[in-house]
A and B are shown apart, each in its own frame.
Chain A
């Protein structure tokens, strides 16, 4: 680490200006009332805060808390094998890490959370990332790097103990299943009854297969070339969707949610058992290119179009907790609805996966761990902007449950009026026509709302109103692409985890090259998330509205596990004084998840508590009456089953995570009582032989040889 030097006057002036700009922007965002405010202020407030946090807080963590040491060889250097371990240029690794952590999550959560107004969401995204999300990512990355790239599960077992480790492992698996089910549900809701969307997303499969064969047989290793061809074909597929929509083939691509569920599950299974080069790898390249391109486009769009925010800063639902998109009060439900972008437990799996094995110098943990998460947070802010530029009437017409809105423009218009907003049936029809969809009513899940918001922003910059439909389907397609990439990668990871766990019981199933074992475990994983997907797609109360809280709680509980491991290691390694850096966000996220979980289990309000909901519908079944939005008695039984499963699942999650926390607390107390430090599993110090990179010099870096 370079020695601390006294700050130069120029630097002091610069940082004072950034701080002032950020403060003014926050002031504008928070205090402007009664007039419409420009989204640019939101961007300025976020960027100013990120700059200050990165410059000061992440440096404090790097120097004081973690004591990053560039004279110490990283595993990439010590264990270099050209395959798993390889010192990689920090900017390249930042790109990889960002592409692995950012996907549809930061785009969906903020859109749903816009029901509370744009202000609470923005504050949580920015403050959450600075003090919790980025800290978690950075510390987990550091811990894994110091342990030769061990996974979160392994670290939990070694640092906390067998019981906590086993609980963590099961929790990770179950949480991943929920995650995949809910993400897939977002795709189903976006594509149902939309021939344009369905066609263009379906086309991604032949495009990926073509790329796979091209890379495997024609031009091995030419990834850039292949990806450019793939992106061109993808754009063609979006244009082609428009033709399909207006042709006699439209009916062939108009699929019901249930059909889509079976297609997605089948796709997930096939992608998990096929060789990676055929489908998974090319899709990954495609999704990464599209991801970075679209996010850059969105940033340019927001800055150039500078749209004004139509949503309230703080809506009435924030206080009353009676919002139609997700039930419950601001605390805790806002903080689980926005996970990715503020604090996402899933990142700890990425930060303890490939990235720690590729880091060239210890100090780069700051840029890659903290920096990449700030970038993801910025994506979330832009998604929130895209939702907040929409007219609130349209927002609720798209996001309230189908049972409340009915199926006609008139019924939806009335339901929205009942919520205290207004949109006429004509306006609703016109909005659907502008993006060439049959309807926008009850298109929940976040993706369609984001797509309408993005088409609004993009068409203001590129192409005008005529391009609106193209941009809408462009946004739908790239979100579906991200999610399907997550689903096929996740199914594969889940399959390996399951093979690993079951392999302890019955050896053959653990073998990674035994075909029946691969098929059985893949089918089990797909069936598990497929179950949640199916119940979500057919839930009379609205799948997203029911399942999204489960998803958020699951993701944040994973963050609890990760932060518990971080805090335990800080205490064990004699850094009790600095343990608050992870312990404070841990306490916060424990409060959030356990309050949310408690309310989901024990609340008397049937809109919030799963068991109260179950009771209400079960009583009604006994009385022989059908409660709306259920239409027939079968719907009533579905509600009872779903709410029982969801409630029990939350209870199981909380129990597993509580076991991890208690076990970790025991370890911490034992450490503090013991006169000497307990052994940790950190790899011993080896002096580094490679020079720290000098900023700006590209070609001299190790691991960046051309």
Chain B
């Protein structure tokens, strides 16, 4: 395993972990299900996500 592999892996993990890749996945899904509707912009998508968090609180343990 080279350093490049490790860095790539780390970048992949951080992007997945923080949910940064969620937008790309959402767009892909959107294009598949609604091929003719315009894909939401990143800003619109993040607003949707925030809205969702607003009504779905998740517990954090101690």
Residues of chain A having any CB pair with chain B under 8 Å: 82-84, 86, 88-89, 91-92, 95-96, 100-105, 108, 179, 183, 215-216, 220-224, 227, 275-277, 280-281, 284-285, 340, 344, 346-347, 349-350, 353-354, 483, 485-486, 489-490, 492-493, 495-496, 512, 555, 698, 703-706
Contacts and interface: CB of A to CB of B under 8 A. Distances in A.
Contacts of A281: 50, 53
19 contacts: A82-B26, A91-B13, A105-B62, A108-B62, A220-B42, A220-B43, A220-B47, A275-B50, A276-B50, A277-B50, A281-B50, A285-B18, A340-B61, A350-B60, A489-B60, A492-B57, A493-B57, A704-B16, A705-B28
Given A220-B43, A224-B18, A276 B54 contact: yes
Contacts of B28: 705
B60 A490 contact: yes
Given A183-B62, A347-B61, A704-B16, 16 more contacts: A95-B17, A96-B17, A100-B61, A102-B61, A105-B61, A221-B46, A275-B50, A276-B54, A281-B53, A285-B18, A350-B61, A486-B61, A492-B57, A698-B9, A705-B28, A706-B15
Given A102-B61, A485-B60, A82 B23 contact: no
Interface of B: 9, 12-21, 23-26, 28-29, 42-43, 45-47, 50, 52-62
A222 B20 contact: yes
Contact of B60 (A91, A103, A275, A285): A103
Contacts of B47: 220
Contacts of A485: 60
B12 A706 contact: yes
B30 to A, nearest CB: 8
A179 B62 contact: yes
B33 to A, nearest CB: 9
A621 to B, nearest CB: 36
B59 A490 contact: yes
Nearest to A284: B60
A95 B14 CA distance: 10
Given A215-B46, A224-B15, A227-B18, A705 B58 contact: no
A104 B60 CA distance: 10
B60 A706 contact: no
Contacts of A555: 62
Contacts of B15: 224, 706
Contacts of A353: 58-59
A108 B58 CA distance: 22
A221 B42 contact: yes
Q: Which of B16, B29, B47, B60 has the most CB of A within 10 A?
A: B60
B20 A223 contact: yes
B13 A705 contact: no
A489 B25 contact: no
Contacts of A89: 16
Nearest to B8: A698
Given A82-B25, A92-B13, A277-B50, A354 B18 contact: no
- Most central of B12, B18, B59 by chain A CB within 10 Å: B59
Contacts of B43: 220
Nearest to A352: B59
A176 B46 CA distance: 30
Given A105-B62, A350-B59, A223 B26 contact: no
Contacts of B9: 698
Given A82-B26, A221-B45, A489 B59 contact: yes
A221 B60 contact: no
The 10 tightest CB contacts between A and B, nearest first, are A105-B62, A223-B18, A220-B46, A492-B57, A489-B60, A92-B16, A277-B50, A346-B61, A101-B61, A220-B43
Q: Which of A103, A276, A340, A495 has the most CB of B within 10 A?
A: A276
Give the residue among A95, A96, A221, A275 with the most B Cβ atoms within 10 A. Answer: A221
A703 B47 CA distance: 22
Contacts of A88: 16
A130 B60 CA distance: 22
A202 B2 CA distance: 43
Contact of B21 (A104, A350, A706): A706
Contacts of A103: 60-62
Contacts of A223: 18-20
A287 B52 CA distance: 21
A346 B53 CA distance: 21
A181 B52 CA distance: 28
A329 to B, nearest CB: 24
A223 to B, nearest CB: 4
Nearest to A99: B60
A226 B15 CA distance: 13
A483 B61 CA distance: 9
Nearest to B25: A705
A179 B62 CA distance: 8
B51 to A, nearest CB: 9
Nearest to B26: A82
Contacts of B61: 100-103, 105, 340, 344, 346-347, 349-350, 486
Contact of A92 (B17, B26, B53, B58): B17
A496 B62 CA distance: 19
Contacts of A493: 57-59
Contacts of B13: 91-92, 95
Contacts of B24: 705-706
Contacts of B26: 82
A703 B20 CA distance: 13
A105 B46 CA distance: 32
Nearest to B59: A349
Contacts of A489: 57-60
B32 to A, nearest CB: 10
A140 B24 CA distance: 32
Nearest to A354: B58
Contacts of B18: 223-224, 227, 285
